[in-house]
A and B are shown apart, each in its own frame.
Chain A
Amino acid sequence: MVFAHGFGCDQNMWRMVAPTFADDHQVVLFDFVGAGGSDLTAWNPERYASLHGYARDILEIVEELDLTDVVIVGHSVGAIIALLAVAQAPERFSGLVLVSPSPRFLDDPPYRGGFTEQDIEELLEALDSNYLGWSATVAPMIMGNPERPDLAAELTNSFCRTDPDIARHFARVTFTSDNRADLGRVDVPTLVLQVRHDALAPVEVGTFVHEAVRDSRLTVLETSGHCPHLSAPDDVVAAIREFLAAAVPSRS
């Protein structure tokens, strides 16, 4: 099983879900290039100008480790990236789990993504406000002290930190992408995990995804928030297990 995190933080987001599958699966966690502990020098604005660049991250990992029968679990934009990876190399994947997916955050009547351009500008501003505190003052201090990596760990809010320019770029790509047309390109058993009250990906969006992805089932979790793998990890694990048992052909 490969777990793909979404916009904002890194693979730590899966800490309450992924370990429970380690007993009966090979579990692969990673950070997209530009996030978490990834090599920031590998990031470039051209490759990552669209979600396809991030999908290549997944495919490169799958090929490097020569994984087959992969069940890929993606959250939010990571779900859409996972879907793009599956569409591109279906032979590698046997199942797809989309946690709180949204193929299009911006409104495009009659489609309702829930956000406007203006909202995205606000988000970028919020990102800037929160990066100022560390990137301007703290980050140079850390970079100047490579012999003290513990300094980086001591910082609060460290799981969601990355280069501010990369974060802005990823935010823009995430929230302005339109991947509705890609939903029809996958043909593996798919689970859409939808939260009842999600400010970012409302139930209608989950239903839209479910209807567009051919071999999919929809499970609505009776909880709230955009990160059920943190808010209701047990429910997420249970739903994935049920899906694996029912829909994904076992290896042997």
Chain B
Amino acid sequence: MSTPDRASSRCRALALEETAEDLYEHAPCGYLSTLPDGEIVRINTTLLGWLGLDHDDVVGRRRFEDLLSVGGRIYHETHFWPLLRMQGEVRSVALDLVSASGTRLPVLVNAVLKTGADGEPLLVRMAVVDAHDRRAYERELLRARRAADEQTRLRQRWVEASGEITTALLAGAGPGEALALVAQRAAELIGASGALITTPVTVVAAGEAPPARVMVAVGLEDRYPAGTQLPVGGTVLGALARTGAPQAVADLVLAPGHPGEGPGFAVPMGSGEEASGVLVVSGVDDGVDSLPDGLSIIASFADQAALVLRYAESQRALRELDVVADRERIAADLHDHVLQRLFALGLGLQAAHTRLPATDAARRVDEAVDQIDGIIRDIRTAIFDLHTVRGGGELAARVRAAATGMAADTDVEPVVRVSGEVEAVPEELVVAAEAVVREGVSNALRHATPSQITVTVSTDGALTVEIVDDGIGIPETVARSGLSNLAARARAAGGDLRVGRRPVGAGTRLTWWVPLDLCGHGEEPDGARAPS
């Protein structure tokens, strides 16, 4: 098949390769031979060139291990040589050679062990292939795989944390506890030094936003304990309030003029009227860019946590409503059936008594009538007690009663939401909250002609009463007039009263709050907080 031309070029090529010596010395890979103890007895020019070494520096003077990096040397002793000895050969072992100038030369090494007749090792032959590009590619592959594994692990841990929060809430943890758990897990998982959750932030009008209040703080409680008010303008919270979008910043500033807290995230927990708060994590060890999806992971975690919190809250409200309805039914039964029949019985006896002669029997009937009167009084007290839900429900029931009482003659049915450790709110503050609700709801009804009023009472670090309507707006002077006394009381206790436009849509928002120290170790003296 070959043409004369092709035959002659083949001859020329063979002539070039006629010496095995040249083939060995200038092969496109490195060759070397060593004694079983590693001493190099032969090495080709190609490999010497790669290493930048002279023949006489190497042969008889160095062992193969001496050409390796230290890590490679350990690998040689613990893997390469044992394998070679046991298998007689090794293939494609990745090692780093170190050249005369100190640069690393990534190579793949194939080796065979030549043994004598009795199996005694005589010689090791090695072929060394430059693996620069391949190793770079493999490292990249490894890095990518590690990153993917890490990402999967991390997502798994976020999912577990969400599950943990759900479980805690279903097991009866209060919203305060759940929020603390959210903050703690977020800080741990993101590798942050601290986290806190504030009340929701919203821009009221013309870029002005009411301050947010810290509900829980983890790792930041020294500087921003629960109850701390954080101005929203000019901080990361402001950016969040304006855009409603999760924020990742290189240096998180929580209060203007305060030093930054390092890299951090601020993400909304839920949105709009449904918002439960803002989750802030700060001092993220590896910076906010360390994870490709860090912001979206934490944002969805916060959303999920908010969802669970709202669900738990509505469940609790439902249970509470059930209890209230039950009690009212019992009270109505007592009133309509038992009480009326007793009353009739008493009247009957009284009528009979008048017709009886003044005998011992008449005296006994009279006593029975007295006793029936006593029983009726007792039942009335019981009915009254049933209407007043005790303990945890008291604040909720009284606030609800205050709101619905004011709106009794209108078409508006106020929505009342209560959250937090309501059990521990002292009586004088419950009275104050009732007064705020009465004034606020009545102002809204008289001046704003709203179709809806929402009353929110929360007790995380502070007792906060918020009354939002969707009416035409109330002049601030009007809104404040009936509340000046309560506003003064709130300020005296370290709280405040604010009235402003609703962030979205028409309407007014009134916020009244005083710090709570439910454990009794607060900074405010008792007297300042408890109006007398």
Residues of A that sit less than 8 Å from B by CB? 6-9, 12-13, 15, 76, 115, 118-130, 132-133, 136, 156-157, 159-160, 175, 197, 199-200, 223-227, 230-231
Q: Could you list 28 examples of A-B contacts with CB < 8 Å? A: A9-B79, A13-B82, A15-B86, A115-B74, A118-B70, A119-B70, A119-B74, A121-B71, A122-B70, A124-B71, A125-B71, A126-B71, A127-B75, A128-B142, A129-B135, A130-B79, A130-B93, A132-B138, A132-B141, A133-B94, A133-B138, A156-B90, A157-B79, A160-B83, A200-B74, A200-B78, A224-B63, A225-B38
For the complex, give the distance between the alpha carbons of A76 and B92 in Å.
25
Helix, strand, loop or mixed for chain B's interface?
A: helix
Question: Which residues of chain B are near A197, meaning CB under 8 Å?
Answer: 37
CA distance A130 to B142 in the complex (A): 11
Q: With contacts A133-B94, A157-B91 known, is A226 near B86, CB below 8 A?
A: no
Count of B residues near A, CB < 8 Å? 37
Given contacts A133-B94, A136-B145, A225-B37, contact A156 B78 (CB under 8 A): no
Given contacts A119-B71, A199-B76, A224-B37, 20 further A-B contacts (CB under 8 A): A8-B79, A9-B86, A118-B70, A122-B70, A123-B70, A123-B71, A126-B94, A129-B138, A132-B138, A136-B141, A136-B145, A157-B90, A160-B79, A199-B77, A224-B38, A225-B37, A230-B81, A230-B86, A231-B36, A231-B81
Q: CB distance B78 to A7 under 8 Å?
A: yes
Contact indicator A159/B70 (Cβ below 8 Å): no
Binding site for A on B (CB under 8 A): 36-38, 63, 65, 69-79, 81-83, 85-87, 89-96, 106, 135, 138-139, 141-142, 145
Point out the residues of chain B lying under 8 angstroms from A127, CB to CB.
Answer: 75
Expressed in whole angstroms, the minimum distance between the Cβ of B114 and any Cβ of chain A is 15
- Residues of A near B69 (CB, < 8 A) are 122, 126
Residues of A within 8 A of B141 (CB): 132, 136
* Central interface residue in B36, B70, B79, B82, by most chain A CB within 10 Å: B82
The tally of CB-CB contacts under 8 A between chains A and B is 115
Q: A227 near B77 (CB under 8 angstroms)?
A: yes
**Cα separation A12 to B37 with both chains bound (whole Å):** 20
Give the chain A neighbours of B75 by CB distance below 8 A. Answer: 123, 126-127, 130
Contact B73 A160 (CB under 8 A): no
Report B-chain residues with C-beta under 8 Å of the C-beta of A12: 86
Docked complex Cα distance between A122 and B74 (Å)? 9
**Do A126 and B89 form a contact, CB below 8 Å, given A225-B37, A230-B81?**
no
Q: Report whether A159 and B86 are in contact in the complex, using a CB–CB cutoff of 8 Å.
A: yes
Docked pose: A130 CA to B78 CA in angstroms: 13
Complex Cα spacing A130 to B95, Å: 8
Residue of A at shortest CB range from B76?
Answer: A199
Across the interface, name the chain A residue whose C-beta is closest to B94. A129
Q: Which residues of B contact A226 (CB under 8 A)?
A: 77-78, 81
Min CB–CB distance B51 → chain A (angstroms): 18
Nearest Cβ on chain B to A196's Cβ, whole angstroms: 10
B70–A115 CB distance below 8 A: yes
Residues from chain B with a CB closer than 8 A to the CB of A129 are: 94, 106, 135, 138-139
Nearest B residue to A160 via CB reads B79
Are A225 and B72 in touch, CB under 8 angstroms? no
- B82 touching A159 by the CB < 8 A rule? yes
Q: How far is the CB of A34 from chain B (nearest CB, A)?
A: 15
A190 smallest CB distance to B (angstroms)? 23
Nearest CB on B from A219, distance (A):
19
Tell me whether A122 and B92 are in contact (CB under 8 A): no
**B96 & A8 in contact (Cβ 8 Å cutoff):** no
User: CA–CA, A30 to B37, complex, Å?
Assistant: 28
- Measured between beta carbons, the chain A residues less than 8 angstroms from B139 are 129
Which B residue sits closest to A127, measured CB to CB? B75
Q: How far is the CA of A7 from the CA of B75 in the complex (A)?
A: 10
Q: For residue A199, give the distance in angstroms from its CB to the closest CB of chain B.
A: 5
- Given A6-B78, A126-B74, A136-B141, is A230 in contact with B93 using a C-beta cutoff of 8 Å? no
Contacts of B86 in A (CB 8 A): 9, 12-13, 15, 159, 230
Chain A residues, CB < 8 A from B38: 224-225
- Known A-B contacts A126-B75, A230-B86; the reply to A156 vs B36 at CB < 8 A is no
- The 7 lowest CB-CB distance pairs between A and B, nearest first, are A122-B71, A8-B78, A129-B94, A226-B77, A123-B71, A119-B70, A126-B75
Looking across the interface, which residue of chain B has its beta carbon closest to that of A230?
B85
CB distance from A235 to the nearest CB of B (A): 13
- CB neighbours of A126 from chain B (8 A): 69, 71-72, 74-75, 94-96
Query: Does B82 lie within 8 Å of A160, measured CB to CB?
Result: yes
- Say how far B64's CB is from chain A's closest CB, in angstroms: 11
Contact A123 B85, beta carbon cutoff 8 Å: no
Q: A113 to B471, alpha carbons, bound, how many Å?
A: 80
